[in-house]
Amino acid sequence: MTQISKKKLLALTGTSWLFDALDIGILSFIITALAKDWHLNAERMGWIGSVNSIGMAAGAFLFGVLADRFGRKKIFIITLLFFTVGSGLSAFAQTLTVFLVFRLVIGMGLGGELPVASTLVNESVDPEERGRMVVLLESFWAAGWLAAAVISYFVIPHFGWRAALVITAIPALYALYLRRDLPDSPEFRKAGHPVQASVWQNVAKVWSKEYAARTFMLWILWFAVVFSYYGMFLWLPSVMVMKGFSLIQSFGYVLIMTLAQLPGYFTAAWLIEKTGRKFVLTAFLIGTAVSAYMFGQVDSAAMLIVSGMLLSFFDLGAWGALYAYSPEQYPAAIRATGTGMAAAFGRIGGILGPLLAGSLVARGISITGIFTIFCLSIAVGIAFLVILGKETKPTQLAGRLQP
């Protein structure tokens, strides 16, 4: 693949990744605004994030297995349609129930798109570049979060949360237009389309003796990362309000914290081809755990910003490494299935994280205690990665044509 085509691939897939992050980022700010408009308690606030993750779990599994049957590109485009339609319609929801239905649809698109996109990029570049390219793909997530923070800071206080959601839906249509020129994965094209193995044969292969240990490790790791990420980041603006800052102040502080995501991705991208996937993922997860503990302990604005920036730096860098590491566990014929199943199981953590945070807040548990729980969950993921995980950097994609 030429340098120009690599840039084009990154731009086409990264643009959609940016809009995915924009939607998730906007949601974290909208939850706070919805709580005021619809008089929601902490537990109902938690359900907004969790319903989104229910959709992501279903989408990751469904679209992951379909991508191994019908191609990465086709499924990639379908996931964006789910996201675009759901995001636009959710701006007009008049009740929490209707809003949750649209969040479920949006979540299916988001959950399916992320593992399919990372698999597509992974299979479309040379082995010595694939780790860096996938992490750079993930860096578009930081740009999306930054855009979400900017929109929330300037739009929501003056024009309301509905206007913010309309804005997030419009640019996704442009990404759909761009995807007309997106090629499918060379590995999928070589394998033939559709691949002859059934969906259930591919699912069974992921848990066969040959891949069971790495699948188990990957599922635990995904659960720990997603559980802690959504439990913490969807609540960041609300936590700032709980610590005594105004709504506008909280949006401003989270915007500053979000700026640290980009250097986190770029640092991980630079290190991942030099030191390996497992090392980068382990190091950044340790940094995430320490930062989460710090954030839960401090109260001053300065220390909250510092610990929040460190949390953004390490957690999002770890996400980049995780998306690079996951597809490399499987051969081409079951790569999207394996990655999608791991992501789907991880999204169960995304369901439980916000619900747990909301429930604990409602019961008067301190922010310190809540963030300590998320810190410990990351520690469990690190332990399984260190014990069962294998470095994939020096290897070719396993069985590039056959499982």
Give 181 or 272, the one with higher predicted confidence.
Answer: 272
How many angstroms separate the CA atoms of 229 and 354, rounded? 9
Task: Give which of 50, 164, 157 is closest to 103, Cα–Cα.
Answer: 50
Q: How many CA atoms lie within 13 A of 133 on its CB side?
A: 26
Which of 276, 274, 392 is CA-nearest to residue 327?
392
| Whole-angstrom distance, CA of residue 225 vs CA of residue 377 | 8
Closest CA to 374 of 298, 303, 317, 311: 311
Which of these, 377, 94, 99, 357, lies nearest to 238 by C-alpha position?
A: 357
pLDDT band, very low/low/confident/very high, at 51 (cuts 50, 70, 90): confident
DSSP helix/strand/coil, 153? helix
173: confidence class by pLDDT, cuts 50, 70, 90: confident
| Joined tokens for residue 253 | 């502080």
Lowest mean pLDDT among 47-51, 191-195, 211-215: 191-195
Sign (positive/negative) of CA torsion 245, 250, 256, 262?
Answer: positive
Question: Rounded distance, CA 315 to CA 73, Å?
Answer: 28
Residue 180 DSSP label: G
Q: How far is CA 194 from the centre of its chain?
A: 28
**Within a 10 A sphere around the Cβ of 212, how many other Cβ atoms?**
11
Number of Cβ within a 10 Å radius of residue 74: 16
Nearest alpha carbon to residue 71 among 177, 183, 215, 201: 183
Q: For residue 92, what pLDDT is reported?
A: 92
Residue 19 has pLDDT above 90, yes or no: no
Residue in the block written with tokens 């503990």? 293
Average pLDDT, the chain: 84
Could you tell me if 371 and 245 are in contact, meaning their C-beta atoms sit under 8 angstroms apart? no
Task: Please check the confidence at residue 196 and state whether its pLDDT lies above 70.
Answer: no
Q: Whose CA is closest to 151, among 26, 14, 308?
A: 26
**Cβ–Cβ < 8 Å for 262, 147:** no
Tokens of 344: 């789907």
Residue type at 357 in one-letter notation: A
Tell me the CB-side half-sphere exposure of residue 229, using CA atoms within 13 A.
26
Query: Are the C-beta atoms of residues 238 and 45 closer than 8 Å to each other?
Result: yes
CB 300 within 8 A of CB 240: no
pLDDT per position as a tens digit, 284-335:
999 999 999 998 888 888 888 899 899 999 998 999 899 889 989 998 888 8
What is the tens place of the pLDDT at every residue in 131-146? 888 888 888 888 888 8
Here the tokens at position 169 are 């839906």
Could you give the domains of the chain? Answer: 3-180+197-388 (1.20.1250.20)
State how far the alpha carbon of 159 is from the alpha carbons of 33, 83, 102, 155, in Å: 11, 23, 21, 5
Q: Which residue has the tokens 């094209």?
A: 189
Q: Given pLDDT bands bounded at 50, 70 and 90, which one contains residue 383? A: very high
